[in-house]
Structure 1
């Protein structure tokens, strides 16, 4: 028998076996049901006798079916794998072991039809449609059973929806009635709209929120009554907004702020409410009880929005609390308002603040591996002082050391050792010659950084790296964040460059690229980044993340010196040529929630760097790289590109890292919960980097209109282990498209052969990482 025909027969057998297994697993789910029981496979709602449009019917049907209880066993492609594993495990003899784990953690018990209360579900559906204004609706319930499976069937007859004919707000002249009437302009209750009980509840909350902004501290939504009169016309209602007669007099009063008392060292144990003369300090409108003088009173003046005599409002109430929390100095923040002992329409504000430990030290040890066959660890020590100068300043000093050893592969022996230190000082205010005010609940900050790193690449070279920056961080809202560094300085100086490395520079066609790594580099200039995200809103179906950044280096110095590297007029500072360039990068991510336990995550990264003036190319440490654990996972880190350039590798090629001035990366990943803490993923990654200018030593590396034809593409699967405090991620990927292959043969789909050990060794890339890639 010819070999191809034999292979095809074997493949067909596997397909038939797979289909038979699926069929048997589906049948076995009813085999173990108790006598007389049926497996509940779900409920269906049918909308009848309605004037609803097709799209409105579809929406109502989906809303109603979401209310049905209980939920059937989870199904994938019509199969119920969790129920199958539950039955497969059988009844375990003890509360531990593999069978117990398989039954209780992986599997789930059958949802029996006997647990379905048809009448109760029908009443829930009836209440829902009535609350949406279908007052004369009818709901019927029935069931269908076949092959030990049962379905609950509900039929809803909504009839005609009642609409709002008129909305009346209070007309009395009392202060509280006038205040409620003044909120009418923003009302969601509008003539001609359908009646909706949820909207009425939201309207009560809206009125309460508006009144809180006008000083009505003790008012709440329960004091608002919205009467419904359904007798005014055919399928119409009148809505009458009132303040309940039983509303307490206290809730009808407007309050202003009187005394503001702060306890910045409050604890439940001990006498921290000491009001002796030595403990009390007056500062502007504040009374501060701080016997140990731990905090400079100015931090409360900057954090609290209330001043004596201000009208109470909920916005300033919440902003003050948010700012105190975001100082990062206090473990607990408690606030209380009390009616003044002497003035009935005045509130005394009390703030009880429990500080975090002022000083702390933290040790961290990290183990890591990457696709370049490097395995290593890093130890860091972090010391912090949360109130350095008594103004809630945060000083952090860290030291770190680590090693990465190449245990296998072509570059074995070229190990990397790193040690360094970094100091950060953060002030909870903007330090600038101009006034800066922010109306957000987040404290604006000023940050200064100094750092040093010593890196030794064994057998190659050693680098000294210094960095420093001074800038500002502020959050415009919970979604928007800004970071502006007035200046950011990096200085890199090499020494102990080995003869082996210098010989490689002299012999290699990439000698210029290798030389740039050990060139002295001086980079300084401003940077700015903006971040927007709403990913914290878990109930949304679509959430987004965006970060855009821009860096401008050496511009003022370039203008002053008139530097022009293209004309061999290179300017230096302390005998070091400074870099001059503009660089921007955009990172956009979209998360589409498919169900409670699954989502589709996608990312696009676009980056461009333009050297000019004193530079003909970006400095090496500012160029773009691609590939690796958090990038295109089917390729080793920094091994792709630039463009279609094919770096010739051999046993002596110890630095295959590739860099570029332009970057494009696209990723998409389907994520779903499998069982317990285990999640699965299927992903596709694509992208490349390019050079801005032509480089004769790297043919094909320059960016051109054919860039889409030079994208690397990879795919793979992965498991994520969500341990709450961290996510351990494993990915197994392989390439689908290699841009360094000759044009016309870059797609390598026809070469995929999982049964071939040589193919697996050359193409399968395993990634182990902490956290999601994006």
Structure 2
């Protein structure tokens, strides 16, 4: 069977190759297909490294770009040429011709003289003042290539940088930072560096009150005639026609906030707002004028958020910080500000903040369908209500009610279906409510979060659980890269409501099963730290999240609990859990190009019970397998260690596998095929283990043999990236199975794509939303 597939793909590829090579047959008489440009640099005065860099930069600036190629072929051009003109601007034919296809780029579309000018101008901007360029066209078999020959000459260096002086205030500010100039003696002349220098000067002036200044007000004069050694002198000065307003240093007069602003407040392009101090007087709060006649917002929230005060010298940093903090409140849909000159003699202006609130209350109903690799399919219904200003201080209250069910559609014949229903509420304050402060960045608003929730879980024919949880804590950011999440108290209480005779019979012979329905009281602080550079425009970025969970530690130490010796303490007759849990998630991303990248992840975690606990609560243990983990194994079916979960089938019940130690590694190469279509090749490895021996799960304990118990899987994935939604399909197969006999765990010799039984047991299809990491 597999040979038939190979023959089909080979024949299809050959047909595409033949047709793709025949694109020129669609050309009209006299038309030539443009295949691209070649840059030849002929000059011995510059190094090969400089030639290579200049050539790449010049090629990037040439227009137009030729038709795209794949392995020397032009399949997009073929789709365009071979598809008949559609009758309407929609439908499959239109999509194939104009979305998948690509219109031919002809030689007549290439303005060679314009490209020649681009080459010369760009070279001059890089310091090659004596550049000379020419071009020639080579045509053959209805195809044409343009060859540009460039003779750049010697590149000029900066011999002197002078900041022209005068007696003005703005000039003195420019002189203060002249030593930080990007223009350095001995460096090559580069117009991009000159532009960066103008922006540096502008940024510094904006921080010192010169609100109306612009980088265009700076001119850098270059003189290459003063020396004969290919040097150039630079003179930095204000342009003679710089507007007077741009040279004035401004301070803040009044700060005026309109928290209920809308487009109707604009008439004839001007804001319909009070401009006189006496009309604003009723709205003053701590020198801020909050025009809110309906009293929808407490004025003090703006005193906390805004950085400008009356009499302050204008600076861009406080300007941007104030806008950022207003947005981070989460209650305003649009944030806009204006500076209006109120005293032209003393150079003062008023700052207006026009804030358009979001809908204060919202109600959203969500219906979801899902499936997972553990052969469950189900649905979930969520009703979410949000109030974004519950106490008039931008406090957010979120309440959710939900119900969900999962039904077994394959796998073990007697596996139980699941039903969940619950409700939760979270109240978030845009400030730290505590007698102490956190080192939070001024650009981000710290939050105090309080949450409470309840969930009812029913595993049909087996057991029913009641789950209660509550927490109080803080979230704050040091900067855009570092975030902290500290829960001072995080409480979970799990109580069984019903255990069927069937489950009790199974649990009687399996201690691990009985622990699933144990009464559990878990409380203590948790802390998570996140560091990421993924938002930065870099080739290499990282993401790290570390988590620490300290459950019952202080209570256990003070009470002298020792469960191993039979001295287990209780609270309201419920034993409390005592353990230490740590988890680390590190990810590395490398961007090869705009269309291809490499992503990797390492997860390492350990949970250690002591004092009042012999085991880690089931809900706090680690799991592996599934669409976001080791994809060649079904969700929560792998491990622990070399234990064979298939032996559970003898008990007619297939339960989730969990562990106290987790190690997982993932690597994925991602590349874009076309527009929203992305492909990936991946490898996953890892496992979970127990810290204590379990007689009913031999091989589950972490030991010196852990390396031989690592599971490995690999596969291919398709991702449909629609920006707001990413639909992911990953097909994976196991390459190393830890519960096989030692020495026979690699499965390369067992791969048999032609066998339907092998495919059924080894090919795992994961359907998910979003990327796995």
Scaled to the shorter chain, the TM-score interval is over 0.9
1:440 aligns to what? Answer: 442
Deviation of 1:467 after TM superposition, in Å, equals 0.9
Once the two structures are superposed, residues 407-432 of structure 1 have per-residue CA deviations (whole angstroms, 9 ceiling, x without a partner) of 23214561111110010000011100
- Aligned twin of 1:238: 233
Q: Provide the rounded CA distance (Å) in 2 between the counterparts of 1:161 and 1:121.
A: 21
Equivalents in 2 of 1:130, 1:697: separation in Å? 78
> Are residues 1:687 and 2:686 paired?
yes
Relative to the length of structure 1, the TM-score reads 0.93
Corresponding position of 2:596: 598
* SS, match of residue 263 in structure 2: coil
| Alpha-carbon offset, residue 16 of structure 1 | 6.9
Q: Distance in 2 between matches of 1:239 and 1:396?
A: 60
Q: 1:161 aligns with which of 122, 142, 155?
A: 155
What CA distance in whole angstroms lies between the structure 2 residues aligned with 1:289 and 1:94? 54
Partner residue, 1:299: 301
Q: 1:121 to 1:541 in 2, by over 3 A?
A: farther
Task: Report the 3-state secondary structure (helix = DSSP H, G, I; strand = E; otherwise coil) of the residue aligned with 1:265.
Answer: coil
CA distance in 1, matches of 2:723, 2:50: 40
SS in 1 for 2:134: strand
Match of 1:336, SS? strand
Question: Could you say if the C-alpha distance between residues 154 and 706 of structure 1 is closer, same or farther in structure 2, counting changes exceeding 3 Å?
Answer: farther
Of 268-277 and 327-336, more deviation after overlay is shown by: 268-277
Give CA deviations for 1:686-717 in whole Å, capped at 9, x if unaligned.
22122233333333223344433322222222
Contact 1:411 1:651 in 2 (8 A): no
Deviates more, 1:339-348 or 1:202-211: 339-348
Structure 2 residue 31 is the aligned partner of structure 1 residue 37: yes
Q: After TM superposition, list the pairs within 5 Å mapping 1:107-506 onto structure 2.
A: 107-233=101-227, 234-269=229-264, 273=273, 280-341=282-343, 344-412=346-414, 414-436=416-438, 438-506=440-508
> Which residue is equivalent to 2:269?
none
Deviation for aligned residue 1:135: 1.1
CA distance in 1, matches of 2:93, 2:488: 61
- Spell out the pairing of 1:585-624 with structure 2 (5 A cutoff): 585-624=583-622
Matching residue of 1:714: 713
Q: Deviations over 1:284-309 (max 9, x none)?
A: 11112111111111101100011111
CA drift of 1:667 comes to 2.0
RMSD over aligned CA atoms reads: 2.5
Alpha-carbon distance between aligned partners in 2 of 1:592 and 1:436, rounded to the nearest angstrom: 33
Deviates more, 1:63-72 or 1:303-312: 63-72
Can you list the C-alpha shifts for 1:257-303, whole angstroms capped at 9, x where unaligned? Answer: 11111111222226984689798322111112111111111101100
1:575-594 superposed matches below 5 A: 575-594=573-592
Q: CA deviation at 1:250?
A: 2.1
Say whether the 8 Å CA contact 1:375–1:407 is kept in structure 2. yes
Counterpart residue number, 1:750: 749
Task: Give the distance between the partners of 1:371 and 1:105, measured in 2 at CA.
Answer: 34
Note if contact 1:39-1:111 (Cα within 8 Å) is conserved in structure 2: yes
Change (3 A) 1:68 1:140: same
- Partners of 2:41 and 2:150 within 8 A in 1: yes
Tell me if 1:69 matches 2:63: yes
CA distance in 2, matches of 1:16, 1:357: 58
> Structure 1 residues 118, 692: closer, same or farther in 2, change over 3 A?
farther
SS of the equivalent of 2:475 reads strand
Return 5+ residue gaps in structure 2 as ranges. 267-271
What is the SS of the residue equivalent to 1:232?
Answer: coil
Question: How far, CA to CA, are the matches of 2:110 and 2:374 in structure 1?
Answer: 56
| TM-score (normalizing by structure 2) | 0.93
Count of matched residue pairs: 764
In 2, Cα distance between the equivalents of 1:278 and 1:239? 51
Q: What are the Cα deviations for residues 430-449 of structure 1, in whole angstroms up to 9, with x where unaligned?
A: 10012457443211111111
Residue 452 of structure 1 deviates from its aligned partner by 0.6
Q: Secondary structure at the match of 1:36?
A: coil
Kept in 2: contact 1:729–1:772 (CA 8 A): yes
Contact residue 279 and residue 290 of structure 1 kept, 8 A: no
Report how far residue 557 of structure 1 moved.
Answer: 0.9
Deviation at 1:371, TM superposition (A): 1.0
Instruction: Check whether the contact 2:255–2:310 (CA below 8 A) recurs between aligned residues.
Output: yes
Provide the secondary structure at the position in 2 that maps to 1:672.
strand
Q: Aligned equivalents of 2:89 and 2:5: distance in 1?
A: 41
